[in-house]
Amino acid sequence: MGIKKVGAKPQTLVEKIFFLDFIKGLKTTIKHLWKKVITVDFPYEVVTPPIRFRGIHGLRTVDGTENPEFDSWVKRLKIKPPEPGETRCIACKFCQAACPVPELFDIQSEKLDVPEDHPHYGLKVMTVFNMDLSKCTFCGLCTQACPTDCIIMTDIYDLSSYTRKSWVLDKDVLTQIANDFVARRGKEKFDEKSAWREDQKLWPEYDKTRERLWDFNMPRLGPNYQDQTA
């Protein structure tokens, strides 16, 4: 078992008389005097969050990139088959079951009011999907529980508002957030079957503000594993 002793060495007389300890310290300070500013002037400049960032939630809509099990889930839960542009939510409440604070969700579904001979007779639609984000811990467990990749987390992080009421997002707002996000950065995050892409980058490389945090000396991102390609 490797044990390494660390201990104090007393100051030598030379160090004491000539103030070598202070001079050495000053050298470090002076070295830093000529460096460029590394802080970001928020909110005039912003760092783009990484693609895995866990920000405000969104509800994705049907756009042809659903996972292979989507149709069977719709059938199993007796949900009206959604048209393109409608929500993917099947009101299964798996997100609520996986959530550490389940009371933040309010999910309801209703049977469609159609005559008996209608093809959608007896099927349900999701009608209410409220999320109280003031209770959310942004842990991301709901997104991992979702069988249809409907609930996602976007890169939006500024949640502040004047009233607590505006922290409760309903299904229209959540859908809008997800649509915006998918249009903006969907290709970066999801593959053609809505799963996480394998080659998600650590950071978006088009973001030039991040360079500043790294003393203008950014690492070049390459493959992690020996059989990984860009």
Partner 1 sequence: MAWISLEKAKKLEERFGYPKVSEGKGVVSVEVPKDKFIEFLTFLKEDPEYQFKMFIDLTIIDHGEKEDPRFQGVVILFSPKNQERIIVKTWAENETLPTLTNLWKGAKWAEREAWDMFGIKFEGHENLVRMLLWETYPYHPLRKDFPLEGIKDTELPSLNESLRGENLEGLFNYDRMHTALPTMEDLEITQKKRMPAKTSQIVLNWGPLHPGTHGTIWFLFDLDGEYVKQCDIIIGQLHRGVEKLGENVNWQQFIPYTDRMDYIAAINENHAYVLAAEKMLGIEVPEKAKWIRTMMAELSRINSHLLWLGTYALDLGALTMFLYTFREREKIMDIIEGITGARFTINYFRIGGVFADLPYGALDAIEHLIKDLPQRINDYETLLTRNRIWLSRNKDVCVITEEDVYQYGLTGAVARGSGVPYDVRKIDKYDAYGEVEFDIPVGEKGDSYDRYLVRMEEMRQSIRIIQQCIAKLRKMSKNDPYFFQTPDEKKLKVTIDGRGMKLPAGETYASSDNPRGELGFYIYNKKDGLKAHRMRIRSGAFYNLQVFTKAIIGRPIADAITLLSTIDPVVGETDR
Rounded Cα distance between 154 and 58, Å, is: 7
Q: Does 164 bind partner 1 (CB under 8 A)?
A: yes
Rounded Cα distance between 113 and 150, Å, is: 25
Of 80 and 194, nearer to partner 1 (C-beta) is 194
Rounded Cα distance between 82 and 87, Å, is: 7
Rounded Cα distance between 129 and 230, Å, is: 39
Query: Exactly one of 38, 46, 112, 114 binds partner 1 (CB under 8 A); which one?
Result: 38
From the list 3-11, 67-75, 78-86, 176-184, the region that binds partner 1 by CB under 8 A is 3-11
Q: Does 220 bind partner 1 (CB under 8 A)?
A: yes
CA 64 to chain centre: 22
**Taking the complex as a whole, how short is the minimal distance between the CB of residue 217 and partner 1, in angstroms?**
8
The secondary structure of 157-191 as a DSSP string is: -----SSGGGGEE-HHHHHHHHHHHHHHHHHHHB-
Q: Does 25 bind partner 1 (CB under 8 A)?
A: yes
Q: Does 33 bind partner 1 (CB under 8 A)?
A: no
Residues 55-84 that bind partner 1 (CB under 8 A): none
Of 114 and 221, nearer to partner 1 (C-beta) is 221
